[in-house]
Amino acid sequence: MQSKFNSNTKIWHGPSYTHPFPMDYMLSDYIYEKLCSDSENIVQINADDDSKLKAKELKLMSIRVAQNLVKIGVKEDDVVGMITHQSHFTTSFILGCVFMGALPNPLDENLSESDIRIIYKQTKPKIIICDDKAIYKLESALENVDFEFVIYSTSREHEKYQSTKIFLNPTNVEENFMMPKFSKPSDEKLVCILCSSGTTGTSKGVTITHASYFLWLALTPNSKASVSLCFSPIYWGSGFFRNITAPLSSTNLRIFTKKPFDVSTFISIVEHYKVTNVNMPPSSLAVLLNSEEFLSSNTKSLQVFTILGSIVSKVLREKFSKIFPDKMMMVPYGMTEVLISMTKPNEYKQEYAVGSFLFFNVQVKIIDENGISLDNGKHGEICAKSSFKFHGYYNNAEATSIAFDNEGFIKTGDIGYFNKEGMLFVIDRKKDILKYKGHQINPSEIENVIQEIEGVEQVSVVGIPNDFCNNLLIAAIVKKHGYESLTEDEIMKHVARRLPEYKYLHGGVYFFDKLPMTPSCKVQKRFVIESIQNIKENS
């Protein structure tokens, strides 16, 4: 399991993994076999109503979805849009698409009309299933587009659209179902189209193959019994992954909810179902660790916290270690496009560390601005590639062409480095790096310092362009409840005590009730900057 460094090419290599199946054997075949062999196993529980779904029930529902999709004219490789919450039907619909070869393309209901239009103009879904809350936004977003589509409502009765319940109608030929053979091998046949995070620009449709999902499964062995909880929507990679792999582990019970994350909901689910494993972004973990309600609750069943989606600050790592010395924090690192690394036990305690365990068959290098590979200890852009090629962004040749370097490595847009022991560290987003009078600034370093202040709930450091000094550094801050008296002066003085002058907040501090976030709980810095500029213009 040891990663290795090639000093000639300056490339790190993860452990080797041999694909165990012939290339005409698909993830759909594997899932179907699991559903058949573990028919009485409870696959998942809806915490909202305590309803349970057995493998045999999910198999029947998924077969009906597959057969009814074919009945209405959906074919292999047709794109199927989804704007819907977690539910037992959602899981069966995703699997039904995978069974018959269609490509689920989930979006979040909170995306703007513009973002929905941009993505679906690229993927051109043949049908779209949609929750009522988002239907009118969807209609407006897709007005006068150059492709035909049909909307189905997840509501039982809708005045305008057919209900998605038609996909669960009996077909009377369920027993005759046979998994189709697809026209491409598993390293080319797509499973789905997921969306990039959208932190620095418009989201793009990330293509993921059957073979790539098998590689992901190699990282989650069927071992110790666990009860897992993940609030991620299906729009986010971890949320989609949990749905598609729900039947694959007879020892891992999946709990889900369509409710958004909050402390009370989290505590209630963990206590009731004795949850052992949770997945969440750093922002949710920060809320928990600052909550007296959580700290005084009976959540001793929790064993593993997997924290993913953005940088985990030094303050948050130290607070977790202090509060939960006997719990495990895992910090995976990667993109929807490619998995890269994960921390081993206790590695998370090192600031910026994202692990010395590189994922199977992954290669990673650090490059400078000229694309030259760098030695260990040198900061540069992290680039990675896997044994199963990333096939690019769906119907977006321009974005695909600039995503790779000339050796086929995906440019992550993250700045980081390896130490000589093979630990990978992620410092910041390349596009977030700022300059002040010629000095290069990593905003995450200043954010870490500000998070040391007891009354800070959330912080984002951004730069406002300035003719004389490149950027004026500004902190956008959300205060914790009960710390309303926290002032700009206190924050400025704390930063001045801890950092050199060129890292001071020369642009000031702005307080917000909340910061703009992507559906995957990452701060959208471009909107933070817009908000600050609007405040300055109107003041």
Rounded to whole angstroms, how far apart are CA atoms 100 and 73?
12
Buried b (16+ CB within 10 A) or exposed e, 494-533: bbeeeeeeebebbbebbebeebbbbbbbbbbbeebbebbe
520 pLDDT band, cuts 50/70/90, is low
413 torsion bin: left (phi>0), alpha (psi -120 to 50), beta (else): left
| Contact by Cβ (8 Å): 302, 276 | yes
| For range 96-117, the mean pLDDT | 93
| For range 258-282, the mean pLDDT | 94
Q: What is the DSSP string of 466-509?
A: ETTTEEEEEEEEEEPTT-TT--HHHHHHHHHHHS-GGGS-TTEE
Average pLDDT for the chain: 91
**pLDDT exceeds 70 at position 367:** yes
Beta bridge partners of 82: 106, 129
Query: Looking at this protein, which amino acid is placed at residue 519?
Result: P
Tokens 């810095």 locate to 525
| For range 283-293, the mean pLDDT | 90
Q: What is the DSSP string of 211-250?
A: HHHHHHHTTS-S-S-EEEEE---TTSHHHHHHHHTGGG-T
The 10s digit of each residue's pLDDT in 297-324 is: 999 999 999 998 888 888 899 999 999 9
pLDDT score recorded for residue 536: 84
202 pLDDT band, cuts 50/70/90, is low
Q: pTM for this one?
A: 0.86
Secondary structure of residue 11 in the 3-state scheme: strand
| For range 217-232, the mean pLDDT | 77
| Contact by Cβ (8 Å): 255, 273 | yes
pLDDT score recorded for residue 466: 82
Closest CA to 518 of 213, 244, 222, 195: 195
CA angle 350, 356, 361 (to 5 degrees): 155
Rounded to whole angstroms, how far apart are CA atoms 480 and 308?
23
The beta-carbon contacts of 155-163 under 8 Å, at least 24 apart in sequence, are: 155/131, 158/132, 161/135
Buried b (16+ CB within 10 A) or exposed e, 415-448: bbbbeeebbbbbbbbbebbbebeeeebbbbbbbb
**pLDDT exceeds 70 at position 519:** no
| For range 384-400, the mean pLDDT | 92
**pLDDT exceeds 90 at position 30:** yes
| For range 19-34, the mean pLDDT | 94
Question: Which tokens belong to 102?
Answer: 């269609």
The 10s digit of each residue's pLDDT in 442-492 is: 898 899 999 999 999 999 999 988 878 888 999 999 999 899 999 999 999
Domains defined along the chain, listed by start: 4-16+261-370+417-429 (3.40.50.12780), 27-217 (3.40.50.12780), 433-538 (3.30.300.30)
